[in-house]
Chains A and B, each alone.
Chain A
Amino acid sequence: MKFSIKRTAFIQRLTNVQRTIASKTTIPILTGIKLTLTNEKLILTGSDSDISIEAAIIKSDDNAQLEIEETGATVLPARFFSEIIKKLPGDTFSLNTFENQQTQILAGKSIFKVNGISAEEYPHLPEIEISQKITLAADLLKKVINQTVIAASNQESRPILTGVHLTIYQGQLTAVATDSHRLSQRKIPLDINDLNYDVIVPSRSLIELARMLPDSSEKVELRISENQMLCFFDQTVFYSRLLEGNYPDTAQLIPNNSETELEVNANDFLAAIDRASLLSHEGNYNIVKLTLDPKQQLAKIYGNSPEVGTINEVLNFESLTGKSLEISFNPDYMKDALHSFGQTTVKINFTQPLRPFTLTPSENQSNFIQLITPVRTF
């Protein structure tokens, strides 16, 4: 393998890939970064076995000035390699691999020789047929991820709940996450009809993916294999392993009817909950109480800590209908849920004091739903 390239362009790609590489790993080769040079592009690969990232620099990219002399592949120790590249003098450097995997890095008057490992030893990432792809906008995917991962569990006791359940059925993508106290579900229409998938993706992977996705409506491609999910965007391939097991059936958890409905501005309500939670965080029980009285058109929120004191606030709302109700819940779940709505009005549907209640955006009630389980109080 022999090539020369502009350093800044290379470093940009390298940092993207390097975020996956863990310092501690059970598989020695994963401390390395794989370089593959084909006739058209240079591919950098990094992996911690859960997440793998491939970033390519194409020959036609003017910023990179990639000059390919001889194709090939090698694996270099990531920690040293990135430090070396960052500290090299000059704008460009060249890299040359010899037969015994020794790699020479040349820049200006400095020459590094690094011992590489055969690329054959590196994990083989799955290849998935290009026909089985799902295209959607990057910012939309990012939104779907950010709206659902908040509800995913971070407890190891039920590992399956640490993932987000993605189902693609009849041209619709449904993402659901729950930690058994709350649930978040987002649906988006897709422009394909013939693909059906049912997978569980670790929320950690999705959070990482959301961080990397561009903030534009640029198209990204999703492909799903039996053991990995792939996401293509901007000359980058993001691989995530899937979780094995059966995700609980969440459809039946979401109530269809409601007895009390409250419509509020998400931001205002968030601020009120935030104030109420100031005191509830102090006590042993992190709960706030919401009292709704449609007859008198009154909604009150009450937070209490036996040691510190209490808070009472009368809420502003858009509308309040149905039966009167008193319900207690964990304010942190409510805050996370409200955050995910952004600047909009939210419709909250209650059934009974001990039944879960739902939050939906007022204008579009079927695509996005958050569910929170109340707390029993005496």
Chain B
Amino acid sequence: MGKKDIIARQPRLTAYFADLIQHKKLVHAYLLTGPAGSGKHELALWVAAGLFCQHPVKGQPCGKCGECQRIFSGNHPDVIDLLPAGNSIKVEQTRFLKSEFNSSGVESRQKIIIIENAEKMTASAANSLLKFIEEPSGQITVFLLVASLNQLLPTIVSRCQLFKMQLPSEEQRIQTYQQEGLNTLLAGLTVDIQTARQLADEKTVLELSKRLTQWFLKILNNEWLALVDVQVKFMPLITNKDEQNLFIQLLELFSKDLLRCAIGTKMVYFQDQALQFKQRLTKYSLTKQLTAVELLLNQPRLQQENINFQNLLEALTLQLIKCYHG
């Protein structure tokens, strides 16, 4: 990820931070929020580079000097990049973090600590962080990167300066993705074009979305085979939690499209079968259509409650059939 890239993607934030660096006004803790792929990590590294760079231009890093190179290759001893190993920040990492908060830098006193997926901090890690951000010592700047604010302790949030990553609007995203020859469905799933390409290469998403539309058409046609689809078509492709989440996301996007249908605008994500849906859906009353959307939107919550995923989908199928035809 080049430095040009982050300036283009986050023009406002990069300009703001460049100004801070130039006037040496960086505070001790920043909280960057935005979905995966919105450039939080790149921005934090960019700021670090700007701070350490030997030839900064108005607070912006040159990207060529030794300092910048070392920061971008992860070899700078005073730029600490902490990525939780697995589901949470482990004890060992917490210990490391604590000692880093209390020791001076290796090369100078200035230090930057970047904590990725900060919501995964364990209580003990969060507390040691809290201790630091309540009484910062030394020249340390912490960047906390989170997808959503709600998952972080409010006491931490209230002690950081908050920044939301600028995201391209959905229309812009759809446009750029189309130019790149990517399915518009991906624009709904991710804001990061790299991830989108990866998903497109893996094909699971596209295959799942195809099967999803076929399954829903069966429901609309009152074909009971839709119930069998769950076992035969979906489950083989949904083997782990990530894929479950992906499917839930697809259901959400699909419900958005159903809503679009209901109010008479074009479907955006599932364009391939748009016509068939339109024809069939117009037969049903608005109330029925809305009830169906509500059923779909209820699924993420149910999934959180650890209900068996296949049961969940089968129940959904039955409820939908009942909703449309009952």
Contact = CB atoms under 8 A, between A and B. Distances in A.
B103 A242 contact: yes
B95 interface: yes
Interface string B99-138: 1011111111100000000000000000000000000011
B168 interface: no
Interface of A: 26-30, 47, 49-50, 52, 120-126, 156, 159-160, 202, 226-228, 241-246
Contact of A28 (B74, B95, B96, B105): B74
B81 interface: yes
Given A49-B106, A123-B107, A241-B105, 15 more contacts: A26-B80, A26-B96, A27-B74, A27-B75, A29-B75, A49-B77, A121-B73, A123-B75, A126-B107, A156-B95, A159-B99, A159-B101, A159-B102, A241-B103, A245-B138
B11 interface: no
B103 A121 contact: no
A227 B104 contact: yes
Main secondary structure of the interface of A (DSSP, over half): loop
A30 B77 contact: yes
B66 A226 contact: no
A227 B98 contact: no
* Number of chain B interface residues as a range: 20 to 34
B70 interface: yes
Nearest to A244: B138
A144 to B, nearest CB: 21
B26 interface: no
B22 interface: no
Contact of A226 (B69, B70, B102, B109): B109
B67 to A, nearest CB: 9
Given A156-B95, A245-B137, A123 B77 contact: yes
B103 A50 contact: yes
A47 B104 CA distance: 15
Contacts of A226: 104, 108-109
Contacts of B138: 244-245
Interface centre among A28, A49, A246 (most CB of B within 10 A): A49
A126 B106 CA distance: 8
A246 B104 CA distance: 13
Interface in B55-113: 66, 69-70, 73-77, 80-82, 95-96, 98-99, 101-109
A224 B106 CA distance: 13
B137 A244 contact: yes
Contacts of A26: 80-82, 96
Given A121-B69, A156-B95, A242 B75 contact: no
A120 B66 contact: yes
Interface string B232-251: 00000000000000000000
A242 to B, nearest CB: 4
A90 B101 CA distance: 48
Contact of B109 (A29, A50, A52, A227): A227
Nearest to B81: A26
A245 B135 CA distance: 10
A370 to B, nearest CB: 26
A121 B102 contact: no
25 contacts: A26-B80, A26-B82, A27-B77, A28-B75, A30-B77, A47-B77, A49-B106, A120-B66, A123-B76, A125-B107, A156-B98, A202-B103, A226-B104, A226-B108, A227-B104, A227-B109, A228-B106, A241-B103, A241-B105, A242-B103, A243-B102, A243-B103, A244-B137, A244-B140, A245-B138
A241 B75 contact: no
Contacts of B74: 27-28
